[in-house]
Amino acid sequence: MGHVFLARHRVFGRRAAVKVVRPDRSGDERVRARFLREVRALGQLDHLNVVHGYDAGTVGRAYFLAMEYVPGPDLGQMLLSGETPPLGRACEFARQAALGLHHMHERGLVHRDVKPSNLSLAEDGRTLKVLDVGLVKNPMADTGEELTRAGWLVGTADYAAPEQVVDARAADHRADQYALGGTLYHMLSGDLPFPEGTPVARALRRVTEVAPPLSAKRPDVPSALAELVGRLLARRPEDRFPSARAVADALAPFATPLTHAADETVVNLGTSPALLTLPDRPQV
């Protein structure tokens, strides 16, 4: 839908990530409505574990959203580098993500695209941020126009919950738990619960099959943690946790406080494209 640039505020000197809607898409009413939904959702959020929004508006015909710059690495980059985080560190990543998601859920928002590349470390290397609310669902702000079409998969095929695969419009906060469970499973085992087949085939398998037990791929994982991951990946939403806060509390005994990312994790940043640099024109 757009491009993301790295910019610096001329007065404050603060770096920001600026999402700009592609000029050839700015005239599309559906694109503008989705962009506005993302802006309004981000404006409701103020939590350590969620990316912060700074400003939004138009410059000429260009729509922009200025956000906190989160340099990473993100968990997707970590996994692509071949480095599997230690168990305690992986659980702390998931615990912090669950806290950020709980903040969203308290405000009636459902992320719908929780995945490793949307969970990134802040500059301090100790704080994990939930990124990209572009697919957020906000039932309380329904304007009567359905932006999610029936039959379309919303989210990422390898992490979307079964009920989201069937009908993204029906997904609630528990769908984010499933996606977080898939992310934690991937970090702990080094693989997806359903790695074979096309993306569509993998998504459909989650609708009809139970995820293989984590212990089958990682026998050394404590049984209580394996059961926790299994509960997150339950096919029926009602079999998951009552809230993302409950998920964070359950993960706490297994989590290890984060030190600076560079101290423990070697990441090949070449596996992911860098942000573009915004030309020195309008202030943000």
110 has which bridge partners? 137
Among candidate residues 124, 228, 95, 236, the one with its CA nearest the CA of residue 175: 236
Helix (H, G, I), strand (E, B) or coil at 249: helix
Cα 274 to Cα 51, 123, 127: the distances in Å are 18, 15, 20
| Beta carbons of 274 and 71 less than 8 angstroms apart | no
- 1: exposed, middle or buried (Cβ count in 10 Å: 0-12, 13-18, 19+): middle
Residues 6 or more apart whose CB falls under 8 angstroms from that of 280 comprise none
> Which residue numbers are catalytic?
113
DSSP state of 40: H
CA atoms within 13 A on the CB side of 277: 2
From first CA to last CA, the distance across the chain in angstroms is: 20
Element (H, E) at 196: none
Q: Are 92 and 99 in contact (CB under 8 A)?
A: no
CB 21 within 8 A of CB 59: no
